[in-house]
Structure 1
Amino acid sequence: MAHERIYIATEDKPVLIGSKDDPVPEGIKVYPGFDGLLDQDCSQEDCFQSAGREAVDGILLGLNGAIMAYGQTSTGKTHTMVGDKTRPGLCLKAAAHLFSEAGLQGAQIEVTASFLQLYLNHITDLLVNDGHEKKLKLREFVEEDYVDTRVEGLSERPVQSMDDVEELLEEGNKRRQQACTALNASSSRSHAVLILNVTLWQGGKDDEATQAKLYLVDLAGSERVKDSAATGDRFTEAVHINKSLFALQGVVAALADGNPHVPYRNDPLTQLLRPALGGNCCTTLVATVSPAQRHSRESEGTLNFASSCRRIKGEVFVNSVRKPRPWESKPKEEPVKEEPEECPWASLAKLDAASVMDSQMLDTAHGQIHVLTCGPSDGEAVLLLHGCPSDAWTWKWLFPPLLYNKYRAIAIDMPGFGSSPGTRLGSRSELNNVKGGPLDIACAVLDALGVQKANVVGYDWGAGIALSMGLLRKNRVLKVIPFHPSYSPPKGENLGAMSMNVLVLWVKEDQFHNLTKWRKHFEALPSAKRELEVYSIGSRWKPGMSLGGDKRLGPQLQRRILAFLAGEASQEAVSGSLEKRLEAKGATTAGKLVVHAQNVVVADALEDAGGVAKALREVEDPTKAAVEQFRQLWSSGKLQALYAERLTGSSASSASLFGALPEMSPEALSDPSILVELGLWSAAPEGWERMKSTCRYGVDRRVLVRGKVGTKPADANFMCHGDPARSLTESGSDRTTSKAVLKGKKDKDTWLVDITAADGGTKSMEVSKAEVLRLNQRHKLLASGKHLQLEDGLKCDYSSPLTRAKLCEIALALSPVVKDLDFNTADGGQAMQLKAVEVIRKCLDIITFQKGLDRGRSPAMCDDVAKLACHGQGHCHTVSSTMAAFLNPFCQVLGIDMKYRGGYSWGGVNMGEPADDTVTVADSPERHQWLELTLRPSLESYVCDLWVADAVGNDALRWHITEAYQNRLYPNGSFNTGQQICPEKSSDVDLPDLDFHF
């Protein structure tokens, strides 16, 4: 579970902080801005993905990496780094990732491992039997750009799998110094370092490999001697541990402050770790802290150290070597690379950027903003937004091509960056549209320069701002080009609603920007509006490099951006592999229609080579294409005819179309954004996330309970507590009543309700929580294999083509209703939720029943409830089952908890006739079935009686339970179709603890 910051109370007293924006109270220290924060509930996999994977991915690119665990004794460093067989730590997960990724890339990998410890200032080898007796020496080697440190005589062992590494760790840890202290029963008394030396051969380069080292460091824990109660040997160990950690802190402080002298040689630990601290290495620190107040001082020290580490900025580079593969006799010659063609604006690129850029400070409503501009004032504007941390000058590589092509380039320094004064803005996506935030500033700059609309190009944070601007300030944007976007759609921003063209740029080697994770956001953009260009720069990639300034990649990026701005296909898109075949219709000599599909397309033979190539590269989503075709049939009124053809089996086209539609089971529709992405809804309901987090059982919710109550509908005290003079347990008969409201909890298993009494007052009553859940919790319909089992032998298969079609039809019909559904309104959107129920009922076209129709007649058994819905047959069992099956998938996105009810009814067919004095409700026989719907967040419940609705109209679809269960129906609480109650979630209950006495 991730958090934004850590608070440490320096005094042992409780402090309440209203929000993260409130002033920090005295006695509280705040540590914000770490690259990742994980609490005690995180798994080893969570830790690896957050703290280890990036470093390991760098190893595969030829970048040295290190992962170090630092913190107080007993805070979990060894568990994090080593773990155990059931919960492997970072060492084992790193090895597993190395081997699996190399295999996926089709690369050959060679790994050797060394394992050492630093104990009492001596380095010993943990992989040899007498290693503790043999003290190894450090040697420094001056490389071209840095000083490397190596351990003379340290053994290396080849490893080929995660199992080999596990065996090696188990062997070495047996030799590692451990002891019992007051803080930890098995405290590590030495610093342990596992070094993996990795050589990787990629693709067809037979003799070029990358070499990299991965340092996995489990530091001994810092401790105060008075806390650990160390004496004798333990005291000596503690002194050496703290001395070496103090030296480590000194090195980190010197590196963070940029001191010219860094005291590596003050201690063997810092000398050993020199490559991982200030050398050619990308290092991750895992700082472990204790949540205990008594360790706050040590936790504060750990976090201070972590904060200092975060300020260190190193420069790493790919370790590329020429090394024959061990399985080949001699290397092959590498082909000569052609120099890229020089761009026409190359002469401008050689000029001093300051000579072509106009630097000015603009006064805006949000303070002074520094802006760089170039190009004609009447040229089409291109707004350039920098990343974080960065400034406007990072775009100097794009100024020459924009100037050459007569665009007006405008690069902004956001507040606190570059030459703009002020406080830096937060870089999270949800902050883009706050008052005075990036969007307001960008628009204010355009206003100050007299620009109405601009193309927006952004990198990282700036790319996220560009996407938000395209969604929320669309009247100011022409096109959007996000480069490595740091963006996750916040509330109110739906990428599917993007109305302008978007070109996403990516360099796949950049380990700080993961295309795999972001691809879902790219695919959320409208397919007709989006383009993705992915580049590869191989071993040239280095952290922090200017990608646009790279002599090979830069011109490619420039050409692609200019082609997109001009509305042209890129030159690079004309050739290469295609995702689809070029197709053309034709006929055989006999006149039979055929389709010609070309595997090879020659661009020169095409009139619009770039356009055709672009179309072929865009893989059409068959599901979305089917939805669009289905929408057109639905809009034109041709859908019913297609249903009829499907039911009679006379059309293959309907089978093909319906089968290509998305499956819309309750599991598939877990979020309304899925329906938006499919093109079935124009927007998700407002406030859906808020509704989803609300409780199901709160104070004053009306619920069904069992009690001794009146049983005659004709009596005024029907379902009320009978005789006020007698106790509740002695009065009336045991029946299900709806005249109870929740008041609180007596304990975790007992809840308290107030029940309406015959005298008009209320009586308090203890009820079993389990019984309340049994009678009121939403239902999960019985499934057998892939079918729902319903009444009258009906089955529903959400994967069947006809069911897919009927659910898509319902979704399309619901779209205008959902557009007006707002869970943030005072009544929680009840009116639109009930309207949605009417829409679903209308789509099912269930038959209108008349008086005298034989209710006992059973329809023909169908193996697909969609057939019944289309035919329009059934009675109360059938219509309730059919409605339940088709309402079920939409319950979560509409905020509806559904229950399939059975019970007792009285009066005429239209349920409007009052009961006479002879009627007494009973739990059996069961005479009627209906649905009960509880709406969230209002927690109001309604009866949806499909059978009666055919006679009296839509009112029967939304009878409030106070009316329905008083004048029309009696719910007995039985489970008719084998349905089960859904499991209770911790967020379902929000009831106060109350003391209760009779």
Structure 2
Amino acid sequence: MPLFINRDQIFAHQVHLLEHKLRSKEERILELETENALLHLRLAECSGRQRRDHDEVTKAVNDHQLQSSTKKITQSALIKLLSGVQAVKHDLSELFAVYVSFATELEEQSKQLLEKVEQANSSLNGHSEDEFQNLQVRVAALEHSLEEERENCRAEKQKRKELHNTLVELRGNIRVHCRVRPVLPFDQIQSSTSGSGSASSEEVIHAVSDDTVMVNCVKAGMLVQNKMFEFERVHGPEESQEAVFEEVKSLLTSLLDGYNVCIMAYGQTGSGKTHTMMGSQFLDELSGTQQEAQQGIIPKAAAELFRLISEKPAESHTVEVSVMEVYNNEVFDLLARDEHSNAAGQRRDVITTASGASQVPSLTYERVSNASEVMQIISSVLKLRAHCPTLVHADSSRSHLIVTLTVSSKSPNAVALARRLQSAKMDMRRSTQKEWWSPRCRRANLAAHHSADETSASPASSPCSTPSLSPCPSPRRSITQTPFRTKLQLVDLAGSECAGMSGVSGAALWESSCINRSLSALSDVLGALAEHRPHIPYRNSKLTHLLQDAIGGDAKLLVMLCVSPTQRFITESLQSLGFGTRARQVQKEPPRRKNNSLKVK
């Protein structure tokens, strides 16, 4: 039987064997690779250990070298220090020797001086006590005489002040006070922004005395020229609000005596007018005592007025307040409200009455009973006042504020009434000797004279002065009293400065122009009054028209000049001081007392 060999099976078997060998080889390769990786890890560990050992050896060597070098340096420093200590010891020993010699010499000198003092005491023992007592008596006498001279000086100053005020009242001049504000932080800021440095913030206006202001006029290439201005009172930067009001307080007594009073603050923007009149703008943040100390003339005047009224009989005086502002040459009643829009601040007109006094028809008056009500009303409308930021001041007032307190007196003093009755009777007698009320009175007077001559009696006076002889039924001899009104006007004027300095434009430029024109009109009125011109231009501005009876009438007017002390505002300050000088030259009519009118009917 033939033997057949299946090649496919043989090949398949060989392939199987070869695949088995291949797998065994691959497994061996994996084992060798694993072994190789383990060997690499061991090698890395050995190399890292060797590197760390090397670093430790290097560090130890470096530390040893550093220690050796430090030791050398320390040894050299110790050697130098030792030599220095030895030198100091030597110097101390020399100094101690000098000290010992000085101490010995001083002890000897002190002994000598003590011996001399003992000798002098022994020689002067009998006379020293008497001389000492005599010196004490002389010192006491000198101190007493000095105190007397001080009292005399104070009394003379007070007398001089009273006489000066009396002279001012008799002459009818306007009283002018000046207040120089201190240098404020915004002066330094403005100087740095203007580029002029510290020269602009230099203080050139000083209050040298109670009535004199000195201005240092500095011009390039010329010597400093000092100009002096005298006023009734000058307040320096250090004087408080209370000191300023003390000089104003006496006018309020005149208000209840029957005189109209006006207090006006004049000056450029940022000179302290509103601070002087109203007080600090941070009053709400202060305590009660601090608030009272920082209040201005308006709140203090209201408090003083009601204090004076409280000393009078109950319900004898009533007070009404009105607040106006003059803005863009228009008068606005800040207490009035529109019935339709309920908007505050209504425009009003100014008229002149037959007696020559200015009057605002339809002006709103609020009845008040204490100073707090006055300030509440003013504070409620003060936010309506026109304000605008400028380069000079961040909150510049652009209108003139006028606060008026009107006092109505109902029950006059009996003695004053008797005096007025007597004065009216004498005036009536004098008038009847010159002018007769009617031809019937004249004929009766002639008949009375004729009968008096026949009976050799004394000459008869006017028949109207004796009821039994008067054939004239008119006027009837009944005297009636009507309440009289006086007013206190407190004016915070808007500040003036040139447009270039304030940096305003547009509508604000028109506001500034109106302010300057109204203040110029005020200056023109004062100039006309000082020169006694026949025509006084009150109607050139609503401001002067409104204050006509206060400026040129019979009211007591006080102008409070507020000036800035720095060189930057020297032009405006000189203008304000010149305005005050012109105001002092005005000789008004002597102030007349607004008493109860005595009507003879």
Relative to the length of structure 2, the TM-score reads: 0.49
Relative to the length of structure 1, the TM-score reads: 0.30
* Structure label with greater radius of gyration: 2
Q: Which has the higher strand share?
A: 1
